[in-house]
Amino acid sequence: MNPEPQPVDRTLWFEAALLPDGWARDVRIGLADGRIAAVTTGVARSATDQGGGVALPGVANVHSHAFQRAMAGLTEARGPSDDDFWTWRELMYRFLDRGGPEEIEAITTLAFAEMLEGGYTRVAEFHYLHNDPAGAAYADRGEVAARIAAAARAAGIGLTLLPVFYAHAGFGGQPPSPGQRRFINDLDGFADLVERCRHVTADMAGAVVGIAPHSLRAVSADELARLPPLAGGGPIHIHVAEQTREVDDCLAWSGARPVEWLLANAPVDARWCLIHSTHVIEAEWRRRPLPDHRGQSGGRRLPGGGFCAGGRTLRRRHGFQRPDRRGRGTPDAGIQPAADTAGTGDDG
């Protein structure tokens, strides 16, 4: 793999590197403005080369709430014996009483820079902090989305922006709680937000915009039916079956478990990624087999991370590749768990 050389400002040399067409030895990678500009294989190390060892492609963080980076350390201390996710969530709500667009941009830039330091080169930002601390919409519905895009530009990370639709506090369309005021949208406002997300990322190379119905707790059945067209060809992410209480509440509301209900009532296809899926039983995903990365019929369970439908298309839409078992880079190499590196918890 020796493309036409381009001007570079520094070079890295590796004994081995995993390239799109497989493993190669004695590889020189030329960088220009922090990006790969040239790749040459089968060359000896020069006096000006940096690096060494083995080079691997960057990893995609498929699930991030970057604003939570600022509360890291606030919830790690041991609390009462009945401390759990739901008590963590209350602290997160209190944390959201402060912080405007400027602070969110600064926090997000830090989180994205730390992701790059850890080897993550693309992030799917599950963005649901839409309103001001009082719960009022900003004059520009895309104010915070624009700050996230600016943070990605500043850090130099690839961005998949997933504006979140959040309308309710529980199954069956329960009214939102005061602590959720910064998340809340209606369908018309959300449609405007999605378009603003497309606008603020239009000049970003490789940027992807999808949507994220927050969860079956936060989105009614009618709203969920109306959301997928807003994604266009982009990905659709949703929190599902993260907590046992969520499963119990879904059973009480619908008579079905969360993933069971979702697969029976939503058009889950290759665009969808089911985040967490922590409390899923085999019968749920066997009930409606999803296409695997070879286009055959078969569900895909992810230990500790969630599962996605149609690994081939999802991976391509998110803009990253992964080597297959033979070490060949391919866009249909299956599905990997979502990494959550931005904060200390997750769901709202």
Greater model confidence, 85 or 178: 178
pLDDT value of position 57? 92
Q: Say which range, 4-13, 142-151, 212-221, has the weakest mean pLDDT.
A: 4-13
pLDDT score of 88:
66
**Which position has the higher pLDDT, 235 or 313?**
235
Residue 335: per-residue pLDDT: 29
Spacing of C-alpha 319 from chain mean position: 12
- Range from 28-37, 67-76, 201-210, 318-327 that averages highest in pLDDT: 201-210
Assess whether pLDDT exceeds 60 at residue 337: no
Mean pLDDT for all residues in the chain:
82
What CATH class has 59-330?
A: alpha beta
Q: Which residue's entry shows tokens 């004695």? A: 26
Q: According to the model, what pLDDT value does residue 2 have?
A: 53
Give the mean model confidence (pLDDT) for residues 331-346: 37
**What average pLDDT score do residues 226-235 get?**
97
Amino acid at 344: T
pLDDT at 295: 31
Cα separations (Å) of 44 from 8, 36, 41, 231?
A: 18, 19, 9, 48
| CA 133 – CA 129 distance, rounded (Å) | 10
Q: What is the separation of C-alpha 141 from the centre of its chain, rounded to a whole number of angstroms?
A: 21
Cα–Cα distance, 332 to 293 (Å, whole number): 6
DSSP string of 287-315, one letter each residue: HSPPB-TTS-B-----TTTEEES-HHHHH
Q: What does the pLDDT read at residue 81?
A: 65
Q: What is the pLDDT of residue 152?
A: 98
pLDDT-derived band at 22, boundaries 50, 70, 90: very high
- Give the model's pLDDT for residue 303: 36
Predicted local confidence at residue 325, as pLDDT: 32
Residue 71: the pLDDT is 81
Architecture of domain 10-55 in this structure: Roll (2.30)
Bigger pLDDT: 341 vs 32: 32
Give residue 241's pLDDT band: very low, low, confident or very high (50, 70, 90). very high
For 214-239, the three-class secondary structure string (H helix, E strand, C coil) is CCCCCCCHHHHHHCHHHHCCCCEEEE
pLDDT tens per residue, range 178-199: 889 999 999 999 999 999 999 9
pLDDT for 294 beyond 50: no
Share of the chain above pLDDT 90, in %: 65
Whether 247 has a pLDDT exceeding 70, the answer reads: yes
pLDDT of residue 313: 31
Is residue 333 over pLDDT 70? no
Distance, in Å, from the CA atom of 3 to the CA atom of 24, rounded to the nearest integer, reads 14
Average pLDDT over residues 204-223: 97
Confidence of residue 98 (pLDDT cuts 50, 70, 90): confident
The domain spans of the chain are: 10-55, 59-330
State residue 130's pLDDT score: 95
Backbone phi and psi for residue 164, each to the nearest 5 degrees, phi listed first? -100, 135
In this structure, is the dihedral angle defined by the CA atoms of residues 21, 26, 32 and 34, taken in order, positive or negative? positive
Beta carbons within 10 angstroms of residue 131's beta carbon: 21
Taking a C-beta distance cutoff of 8 angstroms, is the pair 162, 211 a contact? Answer: yes
pTM of the model: 0.78
Distance between CA atoms of 93 and 172, rounded to whole angstroms?
Answer: 22
- The pLDDT value recorded for residue 346 is 57
